[in-house]
Structure 1
Amino acid sequence: MDKQALELAKRIIELDLERDAMFEQLIALIGNRADELLRFLQNRL
């Protein structure tokens, strides 16, 4: 397999794990409204 593809796949996994951790922090801050806030902001971008 291409080395660049492997590195890219690893980076995607790292970002996914980081996103999960950040989402948990958001849930801790605003509870079940976290999904609603993300959806609202995504629709504005």
Structure 2
Amino acid sequence: MFHDPIQIPAIIELTLLAIVLIVVSVVRARRRRERARNRANAGMNQ
């Protein structure tokens, strides 16, 4: 079986990029949620 030498690394790079993007978006959403919760708590305490 013959594979292009460029093809497999490209697939691996694309999957790694996709995973990184997903992780970054999840972390950002979580931080945003925590910040909103902290702001709500601070508003109630005042």
- TM interval, shorter chain, is 0.5 to 0.7
Per the normalisation by structure 1, the TM-score is 0.59
Q: Structure 1 segments of 4 or more deviating over 3 A?
A: none
CA RMSD of superposed structures (Å): 1.0
Per the normalisation by structure 2, the TM-score is 0.58
Q: How many residues align?
A: 31
What is the percentage of aligned positions where both structures have the same residue? 6
Unaligned runs of 5+ in 2: 34-46
Unaligned runs of 5+ in 1: 32-45
Q: Which one has the bigger helix percentage?
A: 1
Higher relative contact order (CA 8 A, sep 6+): 1
